[in-house]
A and B are shown apart, each in its own frame.
Chain A
Amino acid sequence: MSIESWSFEDFIEFLPVGIIIFGSDLQVVSYNKRAIELTGIDENDLLLNNISEINGMEQFYSFIASFIKYHGNSAQEVIELNQKFLSCSAQQVKKDDTCQSIIIITDATSVNSLEKIRRDYINTILHSLRTPLATLTSSINFMSTIAANEISADHAEALSMSISEVNRLNTILDDLKELFYIESGLAHTFIKPKPISLSRVIDNALTTLFNTVSPLTKNRQRIHISGDTELTIIADEKKLSNIFFILLNNAFQYSGANSPVEISISKDTSTATIVIKDYGIGISEENISNIFTKFYRENNPVNKLATGQGLSLFFAKSWIDLMNGSIMCESKEHSGSVFTLTLNVGASANV
């Protein structure tokens, strides 16, 4: 029998990977034997039950459910199941009115056992560094609070330098941890998109910004917000506040002390678009494609004085991707930069 006359079920049975196809209601439409071998699921359970009800399938269910719920086109995750590490790729297939999700499962156990050892090792180092830093941070801050009036100007300066360097160590450690989570594919466990108020997120970011950045930029008059700030969007509140902080901090840092920073918000049926525009030094044409790359720092006068690691825009892009949104930048040297974010819009009743 030639391959042209095979049924779809015959065809997937011969593939060397596990395949499970879900309908939009999370019911199993089709699967092959390799998927049963890899996942260890009972065939009757798979056909008769919603997978959320099958014991031990929680992580698998959460991957599929969030993929279908947030309308991603494709996604990949390594899931620990049946004493194996399974690499699961999801792909959405739309034809006419039906929308199905194909999950392709491969065994990634040998690669992932090593990866797990590396992950545990780095996690332990990060935790071990954080504990003494916690004692240092609280003790130095305590000293500066109680001793402020009792020590000489030189001692006060030494204490103030110590605080600022301890804070810098904390920031470096936070960045390393975040980089580790993103590169190990663990970042998603700390990001859960849900309906949130856009105005609250922007407020959070502005409050942090005006509480932390240098006095030169502490001019709230520079911010101009227009459009629908009362929107409800689907995002992780803490991470989105961080993203706005990063973009607004850059907009302030790379433009003149009185130059405006504009935030405009618009939406169509399912997408919110937020544009952050500054009139600063801009980014050169040859460098613009690198700005979301980790450790990339453009060679400009502002960066010569700054202490960052070149990670913030890489983090912003990684987080926004995990929220099923997008980030883009257009810029012209000496004219300014425009960052455009898109995120899914949520129903306001859920806030």
Chain B
Amino acid sequence: MSLNKVLIIDDEPLILKSTSMILKYSGFDMLTAIDGFDGLKLAESEVPNLILLDLMMPGINGWDVLAKLKENPVTASIPVIIFTAKEYTTEETQEYSSKVNDFIQKPFTPAHLIEIIKKHIQKSDS
């Protein structure tokens, strides 16, 4: 079974486009969602192997999307990487560190992004 399906949830169209281009080139199957509501629907219907989740989004923010993903038995075990330009405070990191698998600060280099994604996809496979 392929373990390469990655969902990005981000309200910035160019971040979605450039990140999925980079990850497609590295062999990942990409799904993109422009807001949290779309992201939750896609996560449930497609059950990706990993989710990259932005925090500051209109409508429903990243932390609320995370809570809904963890409540739903279909999506609860999908690894989630927080993927944001916002600096998280130590309180946020402590509060959410048990629910998220990693944090990637934007801007990021493709090599760093791919390394982190591979680490968590392999972990959830084993």
Contacts and interface: CB of A to CB of B under 8 A. Distances in A.
B90 A192 contact: yes
A138 B90 contact: no
Interface stretch (B16-24, B35-43, B44-52, B67-75): B16-24
Secondary structure of the A side of the interface? helix
B1 interface: no
B48 to A, nearest CB: 20
A189 B86 CA distance: 14
Interface string A162-202: 00000000100000010000000000011110000000000
B106 A141 contact: no
Contact of B111 (A145, A189, A191): A145
Given A135-B15, A139-B18, A130 B107 contact: yes
Secondary structure of the B side of the interface? helix
Interface residues of B, number: 22
A190 B107 contact: no
A189 B14 CA distance: 31
B90 A135 contact: no
A340 to B, nearest CB: 27
A141 B111 contact: yes
Q: Say which size band chain A's interface belongs to.
A: 20 to 34
Contact of B15 (A131, A142, A236): A131
Nearest to A132: B14
Nearest to A133: B107
Interface string A315-351: 0000000000000000000000000000000000000
A127 interface: yes
A58 to B, nearest CB: 10
Given A139-B18, A146-B25, A190-B90, A131 B109 contact: no
Given A131-B12, A131-B106, A139-B22, 6 more contacts: A130-B85, A135-B15, A137-B108, A138-B107, A142-B25, A191-B90
